[in-house]
């Protein structure tokens, strides 16, 4: 391992623990949650909205693919 790889790993671990420190803490080996119920409900709702957004994007891409397939079929039949 090079010194640069070690420093990069240390930075990634620091960033990881900084992101986690607001939500979870350790107290004598016991994990504690620092979020209150409102924050958890808010995060859950955000996650549900993100899932719905991704479903809609997937549906849109599916329709675009079907459209492209129909266009290909049309042009093949027109040439043939």
pLDDT digit string (tens) for 8-38? Answer: 776 776 666 666 655 555 555 555 556 678 8
Residues 55 and 79 in one domain: yes
**DSSP assignment of 22-61:** TTEEEETTEEEE---HHHHHHHHHHHHHHHHHHHHHHHHH
User: What's the pLDDT at 36?
Assistant: 77
Residue 52's domain spans which residues? Answer: 46-80
Domain assignment of residue 78, yes or no: yes
**For residues 34-50, average pLDDT:** 85
The pTM for the full model equals: 0.51
Residues 3 and 24 in one domain: yes
Residues 4 and 29 in one domain: yes
pLDDT > 70 in the chain, percent: 64
Query: Do 59 and 53 form a contact (C-beta atoms < 8 A)?
Result: no
Tokens of 28: 């004598």
**Residue 77 scores a pLDDT above 90:** yes
Question: What average pLDDT does the structure give for the chain?
Answer: 79
Domain count of the fold of the chain: 2
Residues 21 and 50 in one domain: no
Residues 4 and 26 in one domain: yes
Tokens of 14: 């620091």
Classified as helix, coil or strand, 74 is helix
Domain assignment of residue 39, yes or no: no
If you ran DSSP here, which 8-state letter would residue 21 be given?
H
């Amino acid at each position: 391992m090079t010194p640069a790889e070690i420093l990069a790993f240390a930075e990634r671990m620091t960033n990881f623990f900084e992101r986690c420190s607001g939500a979870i803490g350790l107290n004598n080996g016991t994990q504690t949650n620092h979020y209150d119920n409102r924050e958890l409900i808010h995060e859950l709702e955000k996650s549900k909205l993100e899932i719905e957004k991704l479903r809609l994007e997937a549906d849109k891409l599916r329709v675009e693919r079907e459209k492209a397939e129909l266009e290909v079929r049309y042009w093949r039949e027109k040439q043939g």
